[in-house]
Amino acid sequence: MELGSHLATKLEPFVLISKSAKGAAAAKLIQDAISAQGVYFFAELLDAPNIKQLAGNEQYGTYYALLETFAYKTYRDYLQQKVALPDLSPTQTTKLKHLSLLSYAMQQRVLPYSFLQTHLDIPTIRLLEDLIIDAIYLDIIRGKLDQKEQQFEVEYTIGRDVPPDSVIGILSSLENWSKTTATVLETLDAKLVTLAEHNTVKVREHAEHEEALNSALKEVADRLREKQNTSKRGVGGASGRKDLRDEDGMDVDEPVGSETGRNKNRKAPQEMVKTRTKRNRM
């Protein structure tokens, strides 16, 4: 269930009663509404005709101003105008402090304890944490109490009534937000187009690089293949010439006075010397 979704219909009984309540009864109805448990929205009651009539009433006009305080303002605002407003009961004081906590939570996500103690007029941290815990159990706010850092970290909060004079400001803020968002989207679209174009150029450059690389590799491979073929042809021709020389050498006859003949001639004188020696001994 969405936070605070069960609170939307809590004011309806008071709006219905306001149709027949005037003067003192209308003032009493306001007191009952701001005291009622679970009632945190008051704009519809402020717009009720009989309640609106109290705004210009000298006797009960302060009750209409008090209802406006609960609808749009904070406990600190009440203290500044306390002299001109009815006194609050303890229950009403606690509720107005809860409503003030919602206002501060909508303005900033992290609320220091010191800030809350000052603006909610709470003397001790223990009482402040009790107030925040009560608001969490009432399902009007969610967050984390950080005792170490002395702060309340807001996660989610219900809204509050919007003052009529703030509507124009809110619309202006929304228009500015819309323009800013449109500008951001246009910038993002332009960047996406630029990135797409850059990516296209990169893809084309990569393809051209791959093509050039493949062409260079093919050229190198062709040159290596041609060189290998040329080397093989050269080796085959040298081998053929060698075979021819070997075959020619086998067909040539040994010439007279070859190495064999010369060796025989060297041995002849030695044999003649040996014969002569033997003869002398005889």
Segment holding 111, helix H or strand E: strand 110-112
Q: Tell how far CA 228 is from the center of its chain.
A: 60
Mean predicted confidence (pLDDT) in 122-145:
97
Cα(198)–Cα(169) distance, integer angstroms: 43
Torsion of CA 71, 73, 79, 81, to 10 degrees: -80
Tell me what pLDDT residue 269 has: 54
- pLDDT mean across residues, the chain: 85
Report percent pLDDT > 90 for the chain.
Answer: 57
For residue 43, is pLDDT > 70? yes
Domain ranges of the chain: 5-161, 162-235
Q: Strand pairing of 110-112 and 141-146?
A: unpaired
Query: Higher pLDDT residue, 136 or 250?
Result: 136
Phi, psi values for residue 144, rounded to 5°: -130, 130
When mean pLDDT is compared across 93-97, 121-125, 253-257, the lowest value belongs to 253-257
For residue 57, is pLDDT > 80? yes
Mean predicted confidence (pLDDT) in 78-90:
96
Cβ-Cβ contacts under 8 Å for 106 (sequence gap 6 or more): 157, 159, 160
For residue 233, is pLDDT > 80? no
Tell me what pLDDT residue 39 has: 96
Per-residue pLDDT of 209-226, as tens digits, reads 998 989 888 888 888 888
The three-state (H, E, C) secondary structure of 26-63, written as one string: HHHHHHHHHHCCCCCCCHHHHCCHHHHHHHHCCCCHHH
Mean predicted confidence (pLDDT) in 99-107:
97
When mean pLDDT is compared across 138-147, 168-177, 240-249, the lowest value belongs to 240-249
R_g of the chain, CA atoms, integer Å: 56
Report percent pLDDT > 70 for the chain.
Answer: 80
Per-residue pLDDT of 159-200, as tens digits, reads 999 988 777 777 777 888 888 999 999 899 999 999 998 888
String of DSSP letters for 185-249? HHHHHHHHHHHHHHHHHHHHHHHHHHHHHHHHHHHHHHHHHHHHHHHHHHHHHHHHHHHHHHHHH
Tell me what pLDDT residue 175 has: 83
- Band of residue 282 on the pLDDT scale cut at 50, 70, 90: very low
- Band of residue 261 on the pLDDT scale cut at 50, 70, 90: very low
Query: Higher pLDDT residue, 279 or 27?
Result: 27
Tell me what pLDDT residue 247 has: 52
Query: Does the pTM of the predicted model rise above 0.85?
Result: no
